[in-house]
Amino acid sequence: MIIANNSYPIMKKIIIFILFLNIVSCSFQKEQNFPSPPKIEKEIATDTYFDITIEDQYRNLESSKDTIVQNWYKAQGDYAHNILSNISGVDSLAEIMQEFSKRKTYRIRRTAIVDGEQYFFLKKMPNEKKYKLYYKKGYNGVEEFIYDPESFKPETNNNYVINYIRPSWNGKYVVVALTYKGREIAEMIIIDMETKKPLEQIIDKSWAASFYGVDWLPDNTSFTYLHFPNIDKNNKRSKSNTQAVLYKIGQDPKKINPVFSPQNNPELNLDTTSYPIIDIKNSKQKYAIAFMLNVTNYFDAYYTEIENLGKENIKWKPFFTIDDKVYRTQYSIDDDIITFKSGREASNYFIGQTNFNKLNFNSTNKLVEEKQNEIIDEFKVLPEGLFYSTIKNGVQAKFYKYNSKEEEIKLPKVSGGIALRSHNKKDLFVTINGWINKSERYFYNPETKEFILTPFSPLVEYPELDNLVVKEIEVLGHDGALIPLSIIHHKDTELNGENPLFIYGYGAYGDDSNPVFSTIFLTWVKKGGILCAAHVRGGGEKGEKWHLDGKKLNKPNTWKDFISCTEYLIENKYSSKEHIAAWSGSAGGIMVGRAAIERPDLFKTIIIDAGSLNPIRDSSIGGSSNYKEFGSINDSIEYKGIIAMDSYYHLKEDTKYPATLLNAGMNDPRVAPWESGKFAARLQELNKSNTPILFNVDYNAGHGSGTTVGKVYQEWASNFAFAFWQTGHPDFKLDREAAFGNKKE
């Protein structure tokens, strides 16, 4: 809590208020042996959307600047922390995660390779809390330390971290974005690699870690980035009217030079809730591509010669349209040849080719036809041919080469997912992933067809995970759809219906829940639990149709698929309703929240991180492009879909709900923390079971996990400890005396 100087009267009022909350909280619920959570008075608001009137019981919790509301948030955070920190076993979980981490002598992330095999990367040693910037010449080159985020504005005590880097094509400069306390909108500095020191200019109001980051021009002295004119998270329109701007090394950062935006290009009639992006994929590209990024997979795009970016009144010409369905701007430009991935009349996608001299993105220009049971994923164009990957059900990957005919390339080992990287089309790196197989990066030699292991960080063995098994199955859904379900457990696990089971999913934006080796998640399995991933509709595991079948008015399929997967696990004795924990975050909060409300009997506990739980209000307030995925409350048809997916609205009286843990960061720029706050207040009011409802508020966090590795482990240890406690694991019990001064459990 930050208190102004000479603020004793303010402090006294706050203390009195918190004491009042504690007095109220000490009235025990009949079915619970620990105090009720902090209360706050309701302020009911009524809204009518076409033929439906909605009563919003806790509209006042949206006023995060209100002192009473602020104190309630802080009291809720303290209440949750008291419980989470006093569950036996929570520290042991964090220690297991730390021990897994310490096996690596160091960790590498955000590697960027540019001209002449110049490697820029973030590195963290086991005894360090933050990643620092390093450089080396060539894969086997000597590492050189470049920049420590601790040196950025030390006088502010803001504890900055690096969340993005982007070197120029020739490696002479590198942009470094820094932020703190979970904020995503960053300040950017430019390091001169000749002096190894930052230039004096600091560029603010940038969201480099998202929205495609920084794109350097071929001249290596200028770059484009997305500029946010207003970064006040309390401003309902703070993410509107953004601009793609050009910055030249040495200029005053306060001088904004827009090159593409709704305001700068009114003739294009651009959407103010989408984000203007300039895309330059390689140093030899003649054209700059511009498009308005939003939550959809397809956009209208424009182009101009790169030399025009420094001029006034840029003439942007049509490149492709939203109807061409070029998937998430997956295209490659080689001279005037454009290779692209498209979903046009192809739910599983095809790869096509066209020419700048005669643009044609329709399905007549195919290199690789749509496949029936595989989704075309990534591709790279090299002199030796077109290389691409596919994925089935989001979990089974294959690797292909096309050069007049198609050839499947055998991978070094079975893979659940493949990532392809190439640098100036001189090389090809293939990274393979799996649930229980650690991520491995290979250099692929097209001539010899060899895979050469080239890890960025040391290879580590995890022998205690050798006896884990993975099952990939399909579950029959409520309407006959087959839902992919991944199940991970120890080979000796007895399917007796009593195993602690952790099931998660997402189901939005067409994103896949691909296999990823995570020692954090596998900690759950190491402690005797079963881990499951439900690949529900709304995601992209089965192509564009799978996404559309869980979008807008079809959104109920998302949580009904999740319910179907949970029912299957119960019917087949993997677990039972007394031992099942469900988790998701962000847009996945719709899935878990609605599943738990529709079938509260299926889950012992739910955990939601930064969840979308009140989309009616999110859609009403506006200012973002989420309406393109979920629908608009102001649309005479789509409003019914928004109301259907709103968990807060659908909470019912006289219902026994699962134990609930809601995590939210007060610096979250994507999902307002009041969505979790309102859901928590209403659920605490209505819940008729003897289950804890915790609203874990973090004033030093944003959207998702913490900014340091240690904090991430502590957050996940708390999630798992809460889930193990509620699902009956004997190692996890609440120390009531430590938490509340009551008798131990």
Helices 588-598 and 556-571 cross at an angle (nearest 10°) of: 60
pLDDT score, position 410:
96
Side-chain half-sphere of 657: how many Cα atoms within 13 Å?
30
- Model confidence at 710, pLDDT cuts 50, 70, 90, reads confident
For residues 615 and 647, what is the distance between their CA atoms, to the nearest angstrom?
8
Instruction: Inform me whether the pLDDT recorded for 234 exceeds 60.
Output: no
HSE-up of 372 (CA within 13 Å, CB side)? 0
Which comes out higher in pLDDT, residue 82 or 65? 82
Q: Find the mean pLDDT for residues 338-356.
A: 95
Contact 743, 34 (CB under 8 A): no
Chain-centroid distance, C-alpha 138? 31
Q: How far apart are CA 37 and CA 75, in angstroms?
A: 9
pLDDT band at 7 (very low <50, low <70, confident <90, very high): very low
Given this model, what pLDDT does residue 1 score? Answer: 25
Say if CB 612 and CB 618 are below 8 A apart. Answer: yes
What is the reported pLDDT for 298? Answer: 95
DSSP labels for 416-469?
Answer: SEEEEE-STTS--EEEEE-SSS--EEEEEETTTTEEEE--SS-----GGGTTEE
Query: In which band, very low, low, confident or very high, does the pLDDT at 30 lie, cut at 50, 70 and 90?
Result: very low
Reduced to 3 states, what is the DSSP secondary structure of residue 660?
strand
Q: Out of 3.40.50.1820, 3.50.50.60, 3.30.70.2740, 3.40.50.800, select the CATH number for domain 8-98+462-740.
A: 3.40.50.1820
Query: In whole angstroms, what separates CA 225 from the centre of its chain?
Result: 21
Q: What was the pLDDT predicted at 558?
A: 98
The pLDDT of residue 623: 61
Residue 743 confidence (pLDDT) above 70: no
Q: What is the mean pLDDT of the chain?
A: 90
The fraction of the chain above a pLDDT of 70, given in percent, is 92
Average pLDDT of 287-306? 94
- List the strands of the sheet with 450-453, edge to edge: 417-421, 429-433, 440-445, 450-453
What's the pLDDT at 708?
66
Which of 61-75, 220-234, 624-638 has the lowest average pLDDT? 220-234
DSSP string across 395-429: TEEEEEEESSSEEEEPPSS--SEEEEE-STTS--E
- Average pLDDT on 214-225 reads 96
Coil/strand/helix, residue 615? helix
Residue with tokens 């989309």: 615
Which pLDDT value is given to residue 232?
Answer: 64
Indicate the pLDDT class of residue 739, thresholds 50, 70 and 90: confident
Lowest mean pLDDT among 385-394, 662-671, 701-710: 701-710
Position 69 scores a pLDDT of 96
Whether residue 172 contacts residue 219, with contact meaning beta carbons closer than 8 Å, is answered with: no
Q: Return the beta strands (E) in 495-556 as ranges.
A: 501-504, 530-534
- Give the list of residues 6+ apart from residue 275 with CB closer than 8 angstroms, or none: 211, 226, 239, 242, 292, 293, 294, 625
Lowest-confidence segment of 74-88, 125-139, 164-178 by average pLDDT: 125-139
Place of tokens 């992933």: 433
Cα 373 from Cα 432, distance rounded (Å): 20
CA nearest 713: which of 82, 102, 86, 183?
Answer: 102
DSSP 327-390: EEEEEEEETTEEEEEE-TT-TT-EEEEEETTB---STTSEEEPPPSS-EEEEEEEETTEEEEEE
- Residue-range domain boundaries for the chain: 8-98+462-740
pLDDT at residue number 9: 36
Average pLDDT over residues 610-632: 87
Is the pLDDT at 37 greater than 90, yes or no?
Answer: yes
How high is the pLDDT of residue 16? 32
What confidence tier does 24 reach under pLDDT thresholds 50, 70, 90?
very low
- pLDDT bracket for residue 20 (50, 70, 90): very low
Mean of pLDDT values over 34-38:
86
pLDDT for the residue numbered 583: 98
So what's the pLDDT on residue 518? 93
Q: Pick the residue with more confidence: 743 or 46?
A: 46
Tell me the pLDDT tens digit for each residue of 536-566. 999 999 999 999 999 999 999 999 999 999 9
Helix, coil or strand: residue 393: coil
With a pLDDT cut of 90, the percent of the chain lying above it is: 75
pLDDT tens, residue by residue, 379-406: 999 999 999 999 999 999 999 999 989 9
pLDDT score recorded for residue 328 = 87
- Both tokens of 678, joined, read 């309102």
How far is Cα 15 from Cα 3, in angstroms, rounded to an integer? Answer: 12
Burial (CB < 10 A; 0-12, 13-18, 19+), residue 153, is middle
480-516: b (≥16 Cβ within 10 Å) or e? ebebbbbbbbbeebeeebebbbbbbbbbbbbbbbbbe
* pLDDT at position 14 over 60: no
Stretch among 13-17, 201-205, 546-550, 683-687 having the lowest mean pLDDT: 13-17
Tens-place pLDDT, residues 627-648: 899 999 999 999 999 999 999 9
Q: Residue 742 above 60 pLDDT? A: no
Kindly report, residue by residue over 98-155, the tens digit of the pLDDT.
Answer: 888 888 888 899 999 998 689 999 999 888 889 999 999 999 999 999 999 999 999 9
In contact, 714 and 701? CB cutoff 8 Å: no
| CA–CA gap between residue 294 and residue 329 (Å, rounded) | 12
Q: E-strand spans in 9-153?
A: 45-49, 52-56, 107-114, 118-124, 132-137, 144-147
pLDDT category at 625 given cuts 50, 70, 90 is: confident
pLDDT value at residue 21: 37
Helix (H, G, I), strand (E, B) or coil at 706: coil
Which two structure tokens, joined as six digits, stand for 562? 């999740």
Sign of the dihedral defined by the CA atoms of residues 722, 728, 729, 730, in that order: positive
Q: Is the pLDDT of residue 13 over 60?
A: no
> Which of 370, 417, 385, 423 shows the shortest CA–CA distance to 398?
417
